[in-house]
Each structure stands twice: as structure tokens, then as C-alpha cells.
Amino acid sequence: MDYRVRSGDTLSGIAAKFDVSLAALEAANPQAVNPNVIYVNELISVPASSAASQQPSPIPTHIVTYVVQAGDTMSAIAAAHNLSLAALEAANPQVTNPNSISTGEILNIPGGAMTITQVKTGGVISIGDVTYAQYNGGGDVSSWTSQACGIMSVPSANWVRGYAVLCARESSGRANAINSYDSNAHGAIQSDGYPLHCSRGVAQCIPDTFASNHVAGTTVDIYDPVANIAASMRYVMNRYGVSLNGSNLTSLVQQADSSRPPCGY
């Protein structure tokens, strides 16, 4: 499962909290170059504890996290992730009052993992099905990426970290960004007033790429940041061979690697 760092957390404290060894926690998080320095809101991958493997648990082993947005309710979040309210509540025993959740709160989203074939192929649409409504919702790159990972049933830590870099470079994190001047900017004018093949959205997908890599469970609107990021994730899996857990994302996609200069993907 993934754990989002909170103020005062340390790796040793997180290890104790989840009953895993510090060595195992460090091994599961090679991106933490200095284990003595972790940051608030950073996502840490927590391996299963030996105790957990010996005891039955009411919570599925595949867990991703979701950041509560303004206006969210537990029932709406459950419906959006195809869960029963009871399953969502069971996965979040820290929520003492399910009728009162706060913006920015971290919820566990349980679910069965997709097969690699489902992640890489399910949900493809035609380019004519793509829509172009401007995005007016809330959130940020980290929460949008976390939601995309939840829909795709893949661990989120590496994807959230890499896409924070990639989207900052591609669009400055803007859901409605559009590139109307590079070599892709041609084709019939669409309902947003720009040529068909312009790069659009937070991860700068062109409609062709968005359609051929569209992920079931996301909208068909290219400016929807969750749909845009999910399609981009599927694209880098298929084109570059990025793994489901994103562990090799930064090594294979330079644009997602903060230690190297920007490079188109």
C-alpha cells in the first residue's frame, strides 16, 4: 500500500506503524535517497508486514490512496471507484465519522489489481469520441495522478512522484493547457477553437494518443486531468515499457526525472 507522509513522520516511525522492518521499508522506497530526510505529502510504498501475511485482514491487500477534494462525500468517492460504502469505510478505520471528511484528508481505496493486459488495452476510443470541454474542477497533479492510479488499480507512489515532474514541465500543472504552435498543431478546428492534433491538457496528450490510450473508467474529455494523466500513463507503459508500479518511470522517461533536463516524451 502507499502512505502519504505527514508532519513529524520518519521512516522508522512509519515502519513501526505498519509493523515492517526499517530495512524493508527503505528497500521498497529506493527513491528516498536519504532515508533520514522525507517530506510532508511524499508518498511512501509500504510493503506487507510478516504479521499481516499470517493473519486474515478485512482490507484487500491492493490499496491506493485518494486525496479528499472540496465537496467530496464517502458515498460519492465509493461510487466513483466502484466500491460499496461499507468497503470504503472498512478500508478507512481512521475515519471515525464517515459523514464528516475533510478536504486534504487521505483515504485508502481498496480494489482488485487489473491484469497487465487490462491496464494496457481496456477502454480505447475513437478520435471522434474525444471531447474538448475546459476543466473547471479542483485538485492538483498529485491528487489527479493518485485518482488515475486508483482507477487503473496500480500503486501510486512512483507515478505521483514522476508525474509531478512531467506535468510541471509539460503544462506547469495546468489542466487546460494547450500547445497551438508546435508541429502537432494542425488539423480541423475542434470545439475548443484549436486544431485537432494540438497537444492538450495537464500531461499534453494529442487527441490521437488520448483516444488510443484512453482508460476505461475515465471521461472522454481530453482536458479532464485524471483522464489525461491516465491516458499518458498507459502511453508510457506501451511505448517505453514502464512497469505497472512505475518503478522504472524516471529511468525510461526523462521528462519525469527531476535529476535530468527536460525532454519531450
Orientation of helix 141-152 relative to helix 157-171, angle to 10°: 130
CATH number, domain 2-113: 3.10.350.10
Percent of the chain with pLDDT over 70: 85
Name the band, by pLDDT with cuts 50, 70 and 90, for residue 120. Answer: low
Domain locations in the chain as residue ranges = 2-113, 119-256
Of residues 150 and 201, more confidence is placed in 201
pLDDT band at 18 (very low <50, low <70, confident <90, very high): confident
Contact 114, 153 (CB under 8 A): yes
Going by C-alpha positions, the residue among 51, 140, 53, 146 that lies closest to residue 106 is 146
Distance separating alpha carbons of residues 24 and 116, to the nearest angstrom: 25
- Quick check: 58 pLDDT over 50? no
pLDDT band at 222 (very low <50, low <70, confident <90, very high): very high
Confidence of residue 191 (pLDDT cuts 50, 70, 90): very high
Instruction: Enumerate the β-bridge partners of residue 44.
Output: 3
